[in-house]
Amino acid sequence: MEDKSFSTVGFEGDTLMMTYKLAPIPYNSKMYVDNIYYDFDKSDIRESERQTLNKIAALMVDNPHTVLYVNSHTDSRGANEYNEKLSEKRAESVKEYLTGLGLAADRISTEWFGEERLVNNCGDGVPCAEVNHQMNRRSELILAAFTDQQKQYKLPAGTTDPCDLVLAPTVSEEINVDKSQDLPTLYFDFDKSNIREQHRVELDNVANQMKNNPDLKITIEGHTDQRGNEVYNEYLSEKRAKAVVDYLISKGIESDRIEYAYFGKTRPIHDCNSRSCSNAQHQENRRTTLRWSNKGP
């Protein structure tokens, strides 16, 4: 290690001692998470999504210690084999766009999953609104720092702690959050309160929006389906809401920016007490909703 912060000019002793504090490198840390979305049966990048990709490109230029993971998906309509090919084309379209901006191809890793990883219950044969299908037609963009533990990284000048490069992305402007847009709804397995893996990316995105917009506050509301007694379901809905609260706090969001409530089985989307419900309808009742608390007019 070369240290140019001091000089021995004029030093007349025979021993010089310096103390250094070594900061650990936060390997494989997420630095930025976002999604872009596609039109039905298309893989080209929407004009409205280019701002997101341009922002990621700027981050990667400013932070050469990062790589981008692109995970692409389709909705459930169409054959599985076709959807796998379509999701591959979507991943490649992101890579092509970013390399066109001058980024090295070996800094962009692509994977595609077809319709395997839906974020909601809009599987084969389930009637869903177009807005719900749209949530599945996506590429998840995960910018990660220090991914190679065998590599020696050259840090930007003035950096004393590599963690600063992970916790504070250098974006020139804040993310503009459309607070009129609905936040994702999270769904749960029967009698469970753990967050499904596919919802974690959505919550990472919410946390990132809140970090870049410090005035934003969020309200989380937990629900169950109508099976089971009222007391237990109220307890279960509380656990579901708290699971989301705890996840956001673990991502660095202050607890005083998060409110939560729980309603047990009192606010179902489908009233399954008055009629027989399918498993899909019970699933829609087992949910936790998110909304901005300080949403504008």
- Within a 10 A sphere around the Cβ of 121, how many other Cβ atoms? 19
Is 297 within the bounds of a domain?
no
Domain boundary among the residues 86, 121, 145 is at 145
- On whether both 139 and 232 belong to a single domain, the answer is no
Is 39 within the bounds of a domain?
yes
Q: Measured between alpha carbons, how far is 243 from 200 in angstroms, rounded to an integer?
A: 11
- On whether both 283 and 194 belong to a single domain, the answer is yes
Is the confidence at residue 257, as pLDDT, over 80? Answer: yes
Is the confidence at residue 176, as pLDDT, over 50? Answer: no
Mean pLDDT of 97-124: 92
Is the confidence at residue 115, as pLDDT, over 50? Answer: yes
Q: What is the pLDDT of residue 145?
A: 81
Is 153 within the bounds of a domain?
no
- On whether both 267 and 196 belong to a single domain, the answer is yes
Confidence band for 205, pLDDT divided at 50, 70 and 90: confident
Query: Domain with 57 in it: what CATH number?
Result: 3.30.1330.60
Mean pLDDT of 226-238: 94
State the total domains in the chain.
2
Interval 25-62: pLDDT, tens: 555 666 677 888 999 999 999 998 898 899 899 988 98
Is 5 within the bounds of a domain?
no
List the domain range (segments joined by +) for residue 262: 185-292
Task: Calculate the average pLDDT of the chain.
Answer: 83
Is 6 within the bounds of a domain?
no
Q: What is the pLDDT of residue 167?
A: 39
Is 161 within the bounds of a domain?
no
Is 152 within the bounds of a domain?
no
Domain boundary among the residues 113, 145, 177 is at 145
Confidence band for 175, pLDDT divided at 50, 70 and 90: very low
- Residue among 69, 68, 75, 70 at smallest CA distance from 38: 75
Confidence band for 202, pLDDT divided at 50, 70 and 90: confident
**Amino acid (1-letter code) at residue 169:** P
108-112 sheet: strands from edge to edge: 29-37, 138-145, 66-72, 108-112
Domain boundary among the residues 145, 177, 211 is at 145
